[in-house]
Structure 1
């Protein structure tokens, strides 16, 4: 077993980037519109019926401005559209266009293939165990006392 000494959040971040890099490269090779990692992340947290920019920012863990910039780029690329929110006269919902939905379906197929490639590399049981651990409910993040000073 290869041990790097890195903490779990760093390793999880590396794993996310591995999937993201594979996804973006496959979409680019297929001739899809180029999207940034932030834009790809936005697509992943978007509800089918639409989502507000504020909610997208919260789900992505970014500022509202960052989410708005990602939305703007995807609207310009024809992958997203803004529509009035029927529950609020002031807000707008962001949702996939027909082209955006097609691209999203392609991305989901690519991610299934990338996951299978990972299973081929590290073993089906390992991927299954990883998925099972990540799907368990972890509860709220703990509030820990500060570490004692030596």
Structure 2
């Protein structure tokens, strides 16, 4: 089952990336897609993004750098502290984020996967030898 879920995630990522590219969005990596998914609206520091993604700060920084270069994210001063920088979506990044959500919804509807995963399964069984 874990392998099937991993393959399903990969399939979803590939469908999303290909669909975004087809719609004219700058190419993004799976890591950048994951970063976009954990970024909140008010802005997030690179350290917090790394923690949420479960990756190193360097990996998160590289993903941010690529998305800033693509015009999808921007760095702004943190109003609570002048030193850390918050990462936020640009207007184009917000549009891309919305488009990605729409694409994923269509893919989910196509497969009816969400309905299957949201079905109550009851408590996990205890299997004896």
TM-score interval, normalised by the smaller of the two chains: 0.7 to 0.9
Question: 2:124 aligned with 1:131, yes or no?
Answer: no
Q: What is the TM-score normalised by the length of structure 2?
A: 0.87
Aligned to 1:82: 75
Kindly report the root-mean-square deviation, in angstroms, between the aligned alpha carbons of the 2 structures: 1.4
Question: 2:105 aligned with 1:112, yes or no?
Answer: yes
Question: Structure 1's 127 and 47: CA in aligned 2 closer, same or farther, altered over 3 A?
Answer: closer
Q: How far apart, CA to CA, are the structure 1 residues paired with 2:116 and 2:16?
A: 22
- Would you say how many aligned residue pairs link Structure 1 and Structure 2? 120
Aligned to 1:24: 17
Structure 2 segments unaligned to the other structure (5+ residues):
121-129
Q: What is the TM-score normalised by the length of structure 1?
A: 0.75
Aligned to 1:56: 49
Equivalent residue runs for 1:36-55 within 5 Å: 36-55=29-48
The answer to which structure, 1 or 2, has the higher relative contact order (CA under 8 A, 6+ apart) is 2
Deviation at 1:73, TM superposition (A): 0.4
Q: Whose radius of gyration is greater, 1 or 2?
A: 1
- Equivalent residue of 2:81, what SS? coil
Structure 1 segments unaligned to the other structure (5+ residues):
1-6, 120-125, 134-150
